[in-house]
Amino acid sequence: MTENDPIDSAFKSIMEKIYWIDDLEKAENELAKWLRKMDGDLRNLLLERREKYCKNPMSIMEIIGLQNYLDSNESNKKQTEYRIAMARELIDVGLLLQCIFLWNQISHDLKAKILTPLYKASYAYELALKNGLENIDETHLNRSIQMAEEALEKADDLGLLDELRKYIENSLGKFISSTSN
C-alpha cells in the first residue's frame, strides 16, 4: 500500500480501525457504516480498481500458484513459510469474492460480515510481515489465517464460494482460450 494513493490510505485507515476492535460484531457495524457513508469519488475509484483487479487474469493465476504450492508442501503445514502462503492465498480468495456477480447483489451489512474478518486478516498479515521474513510475528500470522478462514466461512454460508468457483473456472477458460489463439 502506498501512502499517497487515496484508496490505499482509506483502506489502511479502516483496516487499522476495525482490526483493533476486538468484538467482531462491533467491527462489522463500523465497516458497514463506513461503506454506507463512503464518498462518491472514493466509491468510483474503488469500483475502478476492483474492475481492473477482476479483469486481470494474474489475480486468479496467483491464487492457483499459491494453492499449488500449498498442495505440494502439505507436509510442511506448521512451517512459517507455508503459513505465510496460506494466509496470502486465503486473503486473495476473499478479495476475489468481490468480482462475482452476486457480490453486487448483497447489502452493505452482509458485505461487512465478510469484509470485516477479511480486512482484519489483511491487516494482521501486514503486521506479521512488518519486520521482514526473518522476524515474522507469529501471533499476527495466526490471526491472519484465522480471520481469513472466518471470512471465507461466512462467504460459504451465503453461497458465494460456489459462485466464486464458477467465476474462477470461467475466467481460466477465457484466459486459456485467449492464450491459445
pLDDT in tens, 10-33: 778 888 999 999 999 999 999 999
Distance CA 145, CA 165 (A): 20
pLDDT in tens, 135-170: 999 999 999 999 999 999 999 999 999 999 999 888
Residue 34 CB neighbour total at 10 angstroms? 17
Ramachandran quadrant class, 153 (left: phi over 0; alpha: psi -120 to 50; beta: rest): alpha
Output the pLDDT for position 181. 62
Distance CA 84, CA 22 (A): 23
pLDDT in tens, 88-123: 999 999 999 999 999 989 998 999 999 999 999 999
Task: Classify the C-alpha dihedral 129-90-122-170 as positive or negative.
Answer: positive
- The pTM of this model reads 0.87
Q: At what angle are helices 138-157 and 80-96 packed, to 10 degrees?
A: 30
Domain assignments of the chain as residue spans, ordered by start = 6-180
